[in-house]
Structure 1
Amino acid sequence: PPDTAARGHGDAPAADWEAESGPGDAPGLASALAGEPAEAAAPGGDEDERSIFGPGEEGVIDMAMLRDLVAEIIREELQGPLGERITRNVRMLVRREINRALEARGLD
């Protein structure tokens, strides 16, 4: 059966933005989550330039550091085209719900 949790009162899926996503929508987030090993250990001594760790620091990420890193990446992505699309979709959903409430009130 189709997933009804993502649908709004029998309409199109509320998560239409998933279907609209394209290859260039979130390059920063995608590359950060990909964690390609080539970037982490670049040849020629560039390791310190590409690493989030300073020279001599242990390469272990604790939960607080990871949380801050993810929050920063998400914040950056939401300020770009992805955030604009999410804002537009939320506004459409709010307008639709307001119209439904007004129509329901008018029918009573």
Structure 2
Amino acid sequence: MKGLMGDSSDNIPGIPGVGEKTALKLLHQYGGTVESVLEHAGEISGKKLQEKVMDNKDLALLSKELATINTDSPVEVKLSDTNYSGFQTEKVVPFLKEMDFKSILKKYRG
């Protein structure tokens, strides 16, 4: 759906002029995927909508790619590697001073 209509909050462009209702209609009518809608672009009723879809095929495919969460990324960190054992004072205190976090420094120094 976001491949067709986009999502401004995530900077996904979509096809200009295609909103939620139109995207849903096209998906229901032509098989449920952006690719199937694009394959049937010449059959879309309404000349303006048909032109928009045909002229923006690449943008629709890019938008779908941007909206798709990649679940195949390799993760090489074990959960046990993420255990917190306290911060390193020699690194944290200079950073807090540099950022001028006076109230945090007072609490830390006790």
Q: TM-score, normalised by structure 1?
A: 0.23
* Bigger Rg over Cα: 2
Q: TM-score, normalised by structure 2?
A: 0.22
